[in-house]
Structure 1
Amino acid sequence: MADRDALTARALIASLDPDYVELGFLGTEFTDGPLEWSGYGTARERARERTGERESVVCATGRVRAGSGAAPAPEAVLIAFEFGFLGGSLGEATGDRIEAAYAHARAQRLPVVSLVATGGSRMQEGMRALTQLQRVARQTVLTRRAGLPQLAVVRDPTTGGGWATLAAGADVVLALPGAQVGFAGSRVRPAGADPWAYTAEGQHAAGHIDALTEPADLPDVLGRWLTLLADPPAPARRAEPPHALTTGPLPADGTEAVRRTRSPERPRADAYLDAYFDWREEIRGDRTGATDPGMRCGFGRRDGRTVAYAAQCGTATRPAGFRTAARLVRTADRLGIPVLTLIDTPGAANDAAAEQGGAGPAIAGLFAAVAEAGVPVTSLLVGEGGSGGALALAAPGHLWVTPDSYFSVIAPELAAAILKRPPEEIPATADALRLRPQDAVELGVARGVVPGPA
């Protein structure tokens, strides 16, 4: 969808909350601007006549109205770009408005939602326009430090500094399908560049956008995200571990523990997340150009409160998975939201691509994020706990295990191979490693075995 041909900035805000309250500003006004660019004042006047706006952004406060019968989301500051006003470009007066809107958000403890559609900095104002990106970046940092959530909706087009500040720097980035998205606009790209890389779909595939959202679904999706991120309890209360989804006695020996854990019938992360949360929304990607489908991260609602989650899905975790989980933990920590982690991996991916992709630094980053978290982190081992790639997601002192799980410094087959033991000694090696769930409790690694279905 080409959003520039759809709603105006004011109509877009009204579609989210018909009763929005516009924020009034006195900003910088120019005739021909700081460069005395010939005809700039005339162009601005034509833009005003065409759009009815005095600048390229409209700022307001409102409560996003989700689907029929749904309660309004928490109040938010809404910053909507008007592409019809000089291509939604950022000039000095634009910076004035954005800065004032962010200051209002911090003063009133409100989240910020940016509805971005811009071609970038306004060339008629030269470097004075470009430096607005520094002002915007400063406002996003101050708001992040204040512990307030920032969401962005990427519309068509979103290029240049608008993408590289308000949009890509948000906690959660949504995009309208078909939107042109990229730092480079269509007229300044290298010849022969793949156009797909500059689309919402391409940025989503690369992990720079969390979700693609149809315009008709935007109020509902934004309302859900604001409910999740803008209404956390203070102080954060620790999330209780999920119940096990299977019943039965604990494994008698290491071989049985491995067999049960590796069974294809064992419940995986998706089943635990579905049973635990009333509803949830996911984030995607590590923001460095990669994703890992074996790591699910997001925020869910349970009994009227928000819990963040990072869940391994049973595959070898790739560097992007560790970085995405670290991103999730740090975001939740800033917003005061407790974290639940579900551990299930044979270990970190160890192929050449994983090493070149920074497996070591990515694992180190996740260990640090969990260790630094000021909010409570609760962990549940739901399957394989393969060495450091699993331990990085575990909360020290707050790890629980299910009956069909095992934690081990190394898989018993690999341990036997390293010790040059024949295959028939693998069961004895499994016993020697003490990798059963009850062993993890007895060794003081886990607090206990969670009960079966409630």
Structure 2
Amino acid sequence: RATTGERDAAIRGTALIGGIEVSLVAMDFFFMGGSMGSVVGEKVARAAELATARRLPLVIVSASGGARMQEGTYALMQLPKTLAAIARLKLSGGTFISVLTDPTTGGTIASYGALGDLNVAEPNALIGFSGARVSSGTIGDELPVGFQRSEFLLETGFIDAIVPRGNLRGWLTRALGLLQPLPAPAVPLYRQIPIPGVGLIGGMVTGVAQGAGAMIGSVLSPVADAASKVANRADQILENQRDRNLAPELGPHLDEAEAWSHVQRAREVHRPRTAELLEALGAEFVELRGDRRAGDDGAIIAGIARIDGRRIVVVGTQKGTDTESNIRRGFGMPHPEGYRKAMRAFELAERLHLPLLTLIDTPGAHPGPESEQHGIAEAIAAAISKMTELRTPIVTVVTGEGGSGGALAIAAADRVFAFEHAYYSVISPEGCAAILFRTSDKAPAAARALRITAPEQVALGVVDGIIAEPETLSAESTVTLARAMWEMVSATFDELESMSDLNALLDARYARYRAYGAFDEAAPTKKGLVGTIRSILGMDREKVPAGINDDLLDEIERNSAGA
């Protein structure tokens, strides 16, 4: 106290940063190493509670050696105490920025310090759980050079940005402008009744022609109503195609050359992707980096954007434009870390009730052994599952390649649009050709057979609309294309946000995906297998095998009654 002039290792209060009021905690390393004892824990908890009550963003500036050993297990108990307060803040729709300075270690980084919606660190700051002396003294292990420094944590996916102290005010102002909590709703989102588990209780699903997804007395009526609308819309699409004398039921079927030309256009190197489209729209953007587990994946861009005054969350795939940038971006093929980063963005969109826009241009998920080791299948499944239940509107635009589950992991949306020359497929044409034709040379034939082009996907009801592309892509035409995309996306967000409540939105989303592949189940006929055999034998008596006669069939029928 004599040295610092402070009563303990942290101060708290409210402050203005760039004109935005925040609940603020700042720690002082020169007070007993910035250690977190009961008083510091109490201040952090009270700051989070104030942020919750007044709908303020929470900012904590950490400089700490960890939990205060001199206070024993009471210091240890500050970890769950502060984390519980932060959890309640987030559950209420609040936001938290964690500013990590040199050093931030031990129980501080292992509690609230690591769990900001955005974690930002100063250059070369020491950040980690166990310091060098603890590691050496406990397990006799020396830490590598550069380990536990800001740059290492950015690479391994634990922080979102490195910002020098002189630039911190500007960065925080921009981030806070996009992260401000919404005003308290009349019924807070966390108190809204979640939709019950929706499933069949014993009924069957009717056919598409009768309203795919409508269920026989076993599923909530809003689901059935929404399903009927989805199915009716799909039926209308198909009817329109029939009226144009195109292939019945499936709409246009392009020839091999046309289908392959779409694939080639979708793969053009200088085609605009997430970063280029955001730039063309003049978007204000704060990026999320890392999955907070293992790394940051350059193939996925995620963050909060403001476009024409509207705040949204954006998640999109990103390819490079040359060999070096493509290697950095994984050639647009996300690893598990990318999908887990996307799920961070999903959660933030839901908590702030911001609409989610996803942009797709990927050949598919990364197929390497490291992806398998890190759980690529689980990451894809978890991302799709999260999107199906996400309590905020979702719009997807396929801008280039829409490859398999790697694309679908961030594309299970309420509405799906596609650029004119984009494609969407269960597998790449080359992969399909290699499996079915035993040669990738047959990729153009596979592209035609798979019906992967945007017009064909609209006819199938998988894609809701097409965004026309310019003949040639340039800086000017990219702006035009981006504006056309945003007009469609923004209008769709208006439509989705006008729905009566979130449950109606989720019911309609469930119905959309429930309708794909729905079918009629025919009642079993009395004829059965024996009757079928009798019919076949009656048609061609000359080919009846020896020993097969009416007496034998009668015997079979008696013994298999009811089977």
Match of 1:325 in 2: 342
Deviation at 1:411, TM superposition (A): 1.4
Residues 157-166 or 188-197, more deviating? 188-197
**Residue 340 of structure 1: how far off its partner (Å):** 0.8
Q: Which residue of 2 aligns with 1:247?
A: none
User: Which SS does the other structure have where 2:277 is aligned?
Assistant: helix
> SS of the residue aligned with 2:135?
coil
Instruction: Select which of 355, 359, 366 maps to 1:342.
Output: 359
- Give the whole-Å Cα distance in 2 for the aligned partners of 1:371 and 1:444: 18
Query: Which whole-Å CA distance do the structure 2 matches of 1:379 and 1:348 have between them?
Result: 17
Distance 1:278 1:159 in 2: 36
Q: 1:109 to 1:432 in 2, by over 3 A?
A: same
Per residue, is there more helix in 1 or in 2? 2
Match of 1:227 in 2: 177
**Structure-1 separation of matches of 2:369 and 2:304:** 32
* The one of 79, 102, 109 aligned to 1:133: 79
Checking the alignment, whether the CA contact within 8 Å between 1:397 and 1:447 is kept in structure 2 is no
| Distance in 1 of aligned mates of 2:183 and 2:55 | 14
Deviates more, 1:196-205 or 1:112-121: 196-205
Task: Work out whether residues 405 and 436 of structure 1, in 8 Å CA contact, stay in contact via their aligned partners in 2.
Answer: yes
Question: Is 1:266–1:404's contact at 8 Å kept on the other side of the alignment?
Answer: no
Name the aligned partner's letter for residue 278 of structure 1: A
After superposition, give the CA deviation of every residue in 1:80-125 in whole Å (9 maximum; x if it has no partner).
0011111111111222222222221111111100100000111111
Matched, 1:152 2:98: yes
TM alignment of 1:189-208, pairs within 5 A: 189-190=135-136, 191-208=141-158
Q: 1:302 aligns with which of 307, 316, 329?
A: 307
Moved more, 425-434 or 54-63: 425-434
Give, in whole Å, the separation in 2 of the partners of 1:234 and 1:438. 43
CA contact under 8 A between 2:422 and 2:453: conserved in structure 1? yes
Correspondence for 2:117 among 145, 163, 171: 171
The CA deviation string for residues 364-392 of structure 1, in whole angstroms up to 9 with x for no partner, is: 11112211211111111011001111011
* Paired amino acid for 1:311: G
Question: Could you tell which deviates more after superposition, 268-277 or 201-210?
Answer: 268-277
On the 8 A contact 1:298/1:308 being kept in 2, the answer is yes
2: CA distance, partners of 1:378 / 1:277: 19
Of residues 289, 294, 297 in structure 2, which corresponds to 1:292?
Answer: 297
- Once the 2 structures are TM-superposed, how far is the Cα of residue 443 of structure 1 from its aligned partner? 0.8
Q: 1:277 and 1:307, CA in 2 relative to 1: closer, same or farther beyond 3 A? A: farther
**Pair 1:278 & 2:283 matched:** yes
1:98 to 44, 64, 76: 44
Displacement, 1:282? 0.6
What code does the residue aligned with 1:182 have? G
Q: 2:265 aligns with which of 245, 251, 260?
A: 260
Q: Which residue of 2 aligns with 1:417?
A: 434
**2-side partners of 1:346 and 1:145: how far apart?**
36
Q: How far did 1:233 drift?
A: 7.7
Residue of 37, 60, 69 corresponding to 1:123: 69
The amino acid of 1:82's aligned partner reads D
Looking at structure 2, the residues matched to 402 and 205 of structure 1 have their Cα atoms a distance apart, in angstroms, of: 33
Letter in 2 for 1:434: R
Q: Distance in 1 between matches of 2:383 and 2:435?
A: 28
Partner of 1:57: 10
Instruction: Check 1:397–1:133 CA distance in 2 against 1; reply closer, same or farther (3 A cut).
Output: closer
> SS state of the match for residue 327, structure 1?
helix
The residue type paired with residue 43 of structure 2 is R
- Tell me, what secondary structure is at the counterpart of 1:337? coil
Q: Quote the residue 2:405 is aligned against.
A: 388
Offset at residue 423 of structure 1 (A): 5.4
Determine the C-alpha separation between the residues in 1 that align with 2:150 and 2:441: 53
**What amino acid is aligned across from residue 317 of structure 1 in structure 2?**
P
> Unpaired runs of 5+ in structure 2?
190-253, 320-331, 470-479, 484-563
User: Does the Cα contact within 8 Å between 2:154 and 2:296 map onto a contact in 1?
Assistant: no
Q: Does 1:216 align with 2:221?
A: no
Letter in 2 for 1:193: L
Contact kept, 8 Å, 1:397 with 1:446, in 2: the verdict is: no
Residues 419 and 160 (structure 1 numbering): CA distance in 2 closer, same or farther, change over 3 Å?
A: same
Distance, in Å, in 1 between the alignment partners of 2:344 and 2:24 is 24
Q: Evaluate the alpha carbon distance shift between residue 127 and residue 445 of structure 1 in structure 2; reply closer, same or farther with a 3 A threshold.
A: same
Which residue of 131, 142, 162 corresponds with 1:185?
131
- Tell me, in whole angstroms, the C-alpha distance in 2 between the residues paired with 1:141 and 1:347: 35
| Distance of 1:291 and 1:98 partners within structure 2 | 29
Matched, 1:358 2:375: yes
1:404 alignment counterpart: 421
Residue pair 1:397, 1:445 contacting (<8 A) in 2 also: no
Deviations 1:301-351 (A, max 9, x none): 112231111110142111111111111111221122211100111011112
**Unaligned residue ranges in structure 1 (runs of 5+):** 1-47, 66-71, 237-249
Matched, 1:435 2:388: no
Distance in 2 between residues matched to 1:364 and 1:99, nearest whole Å: 35
Aligned to 2:27: 81
For the residue of structure 2 that corresponds to 1:158, the secondary structure is strand
Inter-partner Cα distance in structure 1 for 2:440 and 2:125: 56
- Checking the alignment, whether the CA contact within 8 Å between 1:234 and 1:336 is kept in structure 2 is no
**How many equivalent residue pairs?**
387
1-structure distance, mates of 2:390, 2:440: 42
Asked if the contact 1:253/1:436 (under 8 Å) is kept, the reply is no
SS at match of 2:107: helix
Cα contact 1:386–1:409 (8 A) shared by 2: yes
Q: Residues of 2 paired with 1:233 and 1:293: CA distance?
A: 34
Q: Secondary structure at the match of 2:169?
A: helix
**Contact residue 55 and residue 183 of structure 2 kept, 8 A:** no
Structure 1 residue 405 displacement after superposition: 0.9
RMSD: 1.9
Name the TM-score, length of structure 2 as normaliser. Answer: 0.66
